[in-house]
Structure 1
Amino acid sequence: MPSQLLRIVSFGYGHAKPRPSCNLMVDVRHLVDPYLDPALRDLDARDPRVQRAVLRTPGAPALLAVIVTAGYQLLAQAADAEPVTIAIGCGGGRHRAPALAMHAAAQMDHVDALRVQAVHRDIDEQLLPAGAGATAP
């Protein structure tokens, strides 16, 4: 049986790049930004401290559950070999979006016949100034 592919792409609205092509786009700019904490600002979501800060944000665990549930629903409706993409965007693409993408991928990666890829488009981009990408372009 061929496996289905779920791509979870994190990105930053503040970069001058087109939004990723996807089946579902989730905007997480409403969550508290770890950028505001000087101890976390220069880190990214690969650091466990950033992940903890994002997941401790009120509403983040519930939103993560919604992303995972939506992923399963989209996969159930997709043709057998058709890939499904969920894009998760925050201001700069270094903290909130990749942390949620990583955790969603980890929660779904154990399912047989499902390949999950977490792709972090902007995680290595230059840190943006405060407020960049705060509103949709």
Structure 2
Amino acid sequence: MEYQDFINAVAMRAKVSTDEAATLTGATLAVLADRISAGQAEDLAYQLPDELADHLRTPLGRERATSFGFEEFVRRVGDRPNVDRAHADAGVRAVLTTLREAVTRDEFENAANQLSKDFWQVIEPVGAGGGRSKR
């Protein structure tokens, strides 16, 4: 999926402008990088355009994920610079759902398996089989 297609999908799902969708996307992917292992974040980054992948790449030396639930995830996204807290929840849901469509099903499930069950309840289902097929 191309960068602009990703941002447009987030904007549509979250009902925000494309500028706000880009901000929400960057914040959500950066918090996701803190929440999952560095290796898994890098695996997701590999399947995304550079403009998105850079948010998932973590500093060297951070291998361990920080454990927290969905509500804390949304709070951390809302605390990021330039994020409208009122749109953080919808933005996180939109970004995670769009991410599910943008990467392979196996890669998304590997990442999602590192998250608590409350995350699965907020990600919209995608077409039969979910995600795109492997390259």
TM > 0.5: no
Larger radius of gyration: 1
Which structure is higher in helix share? 2
- Normalised-by-shorter TM-score class: 0.3 to 0.5
Q: Which has the higher contact order (CA 8 A, sep 6+)?
A: 1
TM-score by length of 2: 0.34
